[in-house]
Amino acid sequence: MPLLIGPLAHPLLRARLAPQAAEAGSLQGRLEGGGLAGIAADGWPRFAAGDEDLPLWQADWTPALRRYAEIFGLVPQSHHGRELLGLGEAASDAPEWQPELAAAMADRLLALPADRPAGAIRKRLPMIATWLASRRRAAAETADLPHVGPAASERVRMEPVEEPYAEYFSVEAIRLSQHRNDGGWTDPLARAVFVSGDATVVLPWDPLRDRVMLIDQLRAGPLARGDAQPWLYETVAGRVDAGETPQQAARREAVEETGIAISRLFAAPHNYPSPGAVAEYLYLYVGIADLPDGSAGLGGLATEDEDIRSHLVPRAELTRMALAGEIRNGPLLNLALWLELRHQDIRRELVQEGKTVPAGLPPSWGDV
Which residues belong to the annotated binding site for Mg(2+)?
A: 237, 253, 257, 306
Three-state SS at 48: strand
Query: Using CA atoms, how far apart are residues 165 and 264, in angstroms rounded to an integer?
Result: 39
Q: Which amino acid is at 232?
A: L
Query: Using CA atoms, how far apart are residues 173 and 151, in angstroms rounded to an integer?
Result: 22
Q: Do the strands 22-32 and 308-314 form a parallel or antiparallel pair, or are they unpaired?
A: unpaired
Query: Using CA atoms, how far apart are residues 77 and 136, in angstroms rounded to an integer?
Result: 33
- CB 21 within 8 Å of CB 100: no
Q: How remote is the C-alpha of 341 from its chain's centroid?
A: 29
Looking at the DSSP bridge assignments, the partners of residue 22 are 58
* Residue set of the binding site: 237, 253, 257, 306
Q: Do the strands 189-195 and 199-206 form a parallel or antiparallel pair, or are they unpaired?
A: unpaired
Q: E strands, 258-351, where?
A: 264-267, 282-288, 298-299, 308-314
- CB 240 within 8 Å of CB 200: yes
Residue 212 CB: number of other CB atoms within 10 A? 26
Q: Which of 70, 304, 349, 353 is labelled catalytic?
A: 304
Query: Using CA atoms, how far apart are residues 336 and 136, in angstroms rounded to an integer?
Result: 30
- CB 285 within 8 Å of CB 266: yes
Q: How remote is the C-alpha of 89 from its chain's centroid?
A: 23
Q: Which amino acid is at 143?
A: A
- CB 192 within 8 Å of CB 182: no
Residue 116 CB: number of other CB atoms within 10 A? 14
In angstroms, the first-to-last Cα distance of the chain is 71
Query: Catalytic residue at 304?
Result: yes
Residues noted as catalytic: 304
